[in-house]
Structure 1
Amino acid sequence: MRRLRQLAAGTPAARERIVDLLRALAIIMVVLGHWTVAAIGYDAAGRPTAHSALDELTWAYPLTWVAQVMPVFFLVGGYANAASLTARRARGGDATGWLLNRSARLLRPTSALLLVLACGALVARLAGAGAEQIRTVVWFATIPLWFLAAYLLVVPLTPVMYALHRRFGVLVPLGLAALVAAGDLGRLRGPDELAYGNYLFGWLAVHQLGFAWHDARAARKDDHDARTARKDDHDARANWVGDRRVGWPLLLGGLGVALLLTAAGPYPVSMLNVPGVRLDNAAPPSLALLALATAQFGLILLLRERAERWLHRPRPWQAVIAVNAVVLTVFLWHLTAAILLVGALDAVRVLPTPPVGSAAWLAWRVPWVLLLSVVLAALVAVFGRIEEGTSRREPPAGRPAAGWRATARTLLTAGGFAAVVVGLVVNSEAPKTAPEPLGVPVAALVAYLVGAGTLRLLRSGWGSRG
């Protein structure tokens, strides 16, 4: 608590605190959503199994418009990435150094999850568990990594995409939205391969809105400083995102387009993944999801001032700091918590398996979530320290490398990110019943570890000194 108070007291007054609040809320919503829609049962062999109950809860589809918060995470990611990249450059650093610094916060907690799961799988295999059973359990525990793979595609592109934003502004997300629409057309009429790019184009479009938000915030601060220094200055720079009045058009326009696309158009009502749906809104992101993201951005702009005033109170801000210190750990381990709880309840023969949608199933949601929260809290207490250690202090920018060393460093950084993404994607695409003794495909684990190890060496200064 003392450290939280110190961090809260040391927060710069100009910090956009709602960004941190939204990041924490988005991850909490994802965790609660996954836990709430989980349907637990037994397979033909009498082993516990789980699947999403969403396809059986059609009445809940409109609620997914509130529960779908991944766009919020990419929005605040765009803001945070623009802010940290700008600050890094102001201190004399370069984009490659910035990327290496970001990789530490993202990859250290992820590496811990993968290594623990692989070791646990090996122990289970030596104890006699089947390779297919091991893969099924690990596959479920690593579901969150599909999202991390998408984010790790977006982050290395930040320097380039931010430069495009500075030059072309809103035309960039509009162009990306057009590419998403083309991908959706491919899903409707073929070929399906046209939609693969939506995993990148869709999240990049939302990420670009975060850039616009950051620049609007910076412009407002610069204008305020200019007016303070010179009271007769009325030539404040205009920025459309900085105007609160834009919140209503974004909110109503985004909702209107989303309603049109889902009610009169070909898109499903659910904004979360529903198994078997051809034109899914979430995997990959669809045009309807981008419309919802626009509405969410408008709502954020409308609520921003109230939220900022509230977050300047000590207790709310300390709570936000506490969650953000371990927010990735919470996300990565929340399905592992479910596996551990299901296994424990099954071991003592008290695992409830009521029919999905029944009164008993609905009543079980509250104790289920509470029990899972206890298990996850224990996991965070153990593994959260890894994430906390990466966020306590950003290393100094230092002097950027020059000449061939700079080129080699940049290429190795790009290669490291690429290897990590390939590893995560290969794991996500591998069948959940594949006979994998380590739970994770060996090729995927090797690619990930090579990429993460390369980035770790580069952060330590490897190859940058003569």
Structure 2
Amino acid sequence: MTTTVRRPGTGGGPSALPAAVSASVPQVGAPGRDRFLDVLRLLVMGLVVLQHWWLPVLTRQPGELAATSVIGVDGGSTLTWFVQVMPLIFFVGGASNLLSWRSASGRGSTATAWVARRLRRIAWPVVPVAAVWIGAAHLLSVGGVPEQPVSVAAEAAGMVLWFLAVYVLVVVATPVLAAADARIGPWAAVALFAAAGLTDAARIATGSDTAGYANVVFVWLGLHQLGFLYARGALRARQGAVLVAAGAATVGVLALTGLYSPNMTGVFAMEASNVFPPNLVLASVGALQIGAAVLLRSWISAWADRPGPARVLDLLCPRLMTVYLWHMIPVSVVSGTLVYGLGVDTPQPMTVSWLLFGALGTAALTPLVVLTASLTARFEEPPRLLAGDPGPILVLASAALIGGGLGALTGIGLGVGWRPLLALAAVAAGLLLMNAPRLRRVRPVG
């Protein structure tokens, strides 16, 4: 199911962002198309793929592959402030989810039917990619390939699933948060960010990161809520300027406290970050990014609506979910061939040789990512047999299975052993459970 994102303020109309990354393919110049959101999607996806190539520092050692990070060298943390753009994809997801939910409810769809459709779009594409990784890891192990290099690649492949695990929560919460937006408007986002600040205070006071994981809810849903405001035309230039000013001021104040990490990404992180768990610094950076994007919206839209860029966006955006899930295969193939196969270690980061290595690798990687996406795009659409409204109990149980399975795969990777198989089975069980027919109420006799 792919539909069209409409410009805020143009009324209802369907909108779909499969797993918050993919988009529809209308005709070039289709009326009402908000290509501003397409540009943000493409920007985020491009930077995600580039991070996974440029940030790891791989070195071949006897019988194993040492994996560290650019973040560990001087200046590495500064780089993360420019590549951490995941807040933008939650903002885009908020805009798309609100429009989609409004359209569906206007047609008489129930909240559980809408949530079930969204969850299928999240979970189904994971099944084939996880099966390929887990199967390949077992075959390589049986074939005598050293376990440690395979484990490094499999863990990196599982790492990208964190976003989908969180997005399960986002989808389930959307009907409730849409009602909150209708009732109290921007104060819903303010409340979520305030809760994020209180969670940070509890984490700092207790010295335990565990307390901070409540911000998986507050930070990501707060950024998602800003997308609601954009979708209904309540986030324009003036509000964008407020977000930029508030975000920059908050980041500046929090940085002065010395209580927060300088690392803005959890990708191959060798130290604490502002992402795991998310915190008020990440929320503030996200608000700044969203505000800046809104301020630039007219220029971005004018460029994106031109025939050339529009065709590029229409060509690439429908496959961004596929790229996100499958790009670690070509990344691992190129990295493994260079470092483990040919003994070409990642050069010292922040040097000319490192820049040249990264650029040449990107050039080799790009056609492989395109080829992989073209071959695997068929797995993005859920089978027609996965349909229907399972009702509230089953949809919540399915969300728990899918979210839990994705979270487990994020932590343990897509490698050898029974744990990845069990986690993948949980995702598959959640899909099948949503396919169960809605339970009928039994009328009392007499």
- TM-based fold match above 0.5: yes
Q: CA-to-partner distance for each residue in 1:161-202, whole Å, 9 max, x for gaps?
A: 111111122222222212222222233231432212111211
Mapping for residues 267-416 of structure 1, pairs under 5 Å: 267-273=260-266, 275=269, 277-278=271-272, 280-346=273-339, 349=342, 351-387=344-380, 389=381, 409-416=391-398
Map of 1:126 onto structure 2? 142
1:437 correspondence with 2:417: yes
Q: Any conservation in 1 of the 2:154–2:415 contact (CA below 8 Å)?
A: no
1:427 correspondence with 2:444: no
Q: Any conservation in 1 of the 2:95–2:230 contact (CA below 8 Å)?
A: yes
Take 1:348 and 1:124, find their aligned partners in 2: how far apart are those partners?
Answer: 15
Query: What SS is found at the alignment partner of 2:317?
Result: helix
Deviation (angstroms), 1:129: 4.3
Query: What SS is found at the alignment partner of 2:328?
Result: helix
Take 1:64 and 1:34, find their aligned partners in 2: how far apart are those partners?
Answer: 12
Amino acid at match of 1:16: D
Map of 2:47 onto structure 1? 29
Task: Report the identity percentage.
Answer: 28
Deviation (angstroms), 1:464: 7.0
1:155 correspondence with 2:135: no
Q: State which structure, 1 or 2, has the greater radius of gyration over its C-alpha atoms.
A: 1
Q: In 2 relative to 1, CA 7–372 (structure 1 residues): closer, same or farther, beyond 3 Å? A: closer
| Equivalent in 246, 251, 254 of residue 253 of structure 1 | 246
Deviation (angstroms), 1:134: 4.3
Map of 1:202 onto structure 2? 219
Gaps in structure 1 of 5+ consecutive residues? 1-5, 217-238
Deviation (angstroms), 1:135: 3.7
Take 2:118 and 2:355, find their aligned partners in 1: how far apart are those partners?
Answer: 40
Take 1:441 and 1:418, find their aligned partners in 2: how far apart are those partners?
Answer: 17
Deviation (angstroms), 1:366: 0.4
Deviation (angstroms), 1:132: 5.8
Q: CA-to-partner distance for each residue in 1:131-157, whole Å, 9 max, x for gaps?
A: 665444311211101121111221111
1:453 correspondence with 2:432: yes
- If each structure's helix is expressed as a fraction of its own residues, which one has the higher value? 1
Q: In 2 relative to 1, CA 318–101 (structure 1 residues): closer, same or farther, beyond 3 Å? A: farther
Q: In 2 relative to 1, CA 311–10 (structure 1 residues): closer, same or farther, beyond 3 Å? A: closer
Q: Any conservation in 2 of the 1:33–1:67 contact (CA below 8 Å)?
A: yes
1:89 correspondence with 2:105: yes
Q: Any conservation in 1 of the 2:401–2:427 contact (CA below 8 Å)?
A: yes
Query: What SS is found at the alignment partner of 1:50?
Result: strand
Q: Any conservation in 2 of the 1:71–1:293 contact (CA below 8 Å)?
A: yes
Q: CA-to-partner distance for each residue in 1:26-78, whole Å, 9 max, x for gaps?
A: 111111122111211123x333343322121x324334333110000000000
Amino acid at match of 1:329: T
1:175 correspondence with 2:191: yes
Take 1:287 and 1:422, find their aligned partners in 2: how far apart are those partners?
Answer: 25
Q: In 2 relative to 1, CA 435–330 (structure 1 residues): closer, same or farther, beyond 3 Å? A: closer
Q: Which deviates more from structure 2 when the two are superposed, residues 123-132 or residues 296-305? A: 123-132
Map of 2:71 onto structure 1? 54
Amino acid at match of 2:70: A
Query: What SS is found at the alignment partner of 2:109?
Result: coil
Map of 1:13 onto structure 2? 31
Q: CA-to-partner distance for each residue in 1:194-252, whole Å, 9 max, x for gaps?
A: 21211121100100111111112xxxxxxxxxxxxxxxxxxxxxx4x24x223222212
Take 2:165 and 2:65, find their aligned partners in 1: how far apart are those partners?
Answer: 28
Amino acid at match of 1:452: L
Query: What SS is found at the alignment partner of 1:354?
Result: coil
Take 1:295 and 1:100, find their aligned partners in 2: how far apart are those partners?
Answer: 33
Amino acid at match of 2:417: P
Amino acid at match of 2:399: F
Q: Any conservation in 2 of the 1:48–1:342 contact (CA below 8 Å)?
A: no
Take 2:428 and 2:88, find their aligned partners in 1: how far apart are those partners?
Answer: 29
Q: CA-to-partner distance for each residue in 1:66-123, whole Å, 9 max, x for gaps?
A: 3110000000000000011111112222222212222233223211111111221232
Take 1:454 and 1:28, find their aligned partners in 2: how far apart are those partners?
Answer: 34
Amino acid at match of 1:422: G
Deviation (angstroms), 1:445: 2.1
Q: Any conservation in 2 of the 1:109–1:383 contact (CA below 8 Å)?
A: no
Q: CA-to-partner distance for each residue in 1:375-433, whole Å, 9 max, x for gaps?
A: 2222112112322x469xx99x9xxx9xxxx7x52221221121011112223333x7x
Take 1:381 and 1:435, find their aligned partners in 2: how far apart are those partners?
Answer: 24
Map of 1:98 onto structure 2? 114
In the comparison of the two structures, how many residue pairs are matched? 415
Gaps in structure 2 of 5+ consecutive residues? 1-23, 442-446
Q: In 2 relative to 1, CA 172–120 (structure 1 residues): closer, same or farther, beyond 3 Å? A: same
Q: Any conservation in 2 of the 1:26–1:70 contact (CA below 8 Å)?
A: yes
Take 1:270 and 1:108, find their aligned partners in 2: how far apart are those partners?
Answer: 33
Deviation (angstroms), 1:20: 1.8
Take 1:176 and 1:76, find their aligned partners in 2: how far apart are those partners?
Answer: 18
1:42 correspondence with 2:80: no
Map of 1:73 onto structure 2? 89
Q: In 2 relative to 1, CA 311–123 (structure 1 residues): closer, same or farther, beyond 3 Å? A: same
TM-score, with normalisation over the residues of structure 2? 0.85
Take 2:294 and 2:340, find their aligned partners in 1: how far apart are those partners?
Answer: 49
Q: Any conservation in 2 of the 1:8–1:314 contact (CA below 8 Å)?
A: no
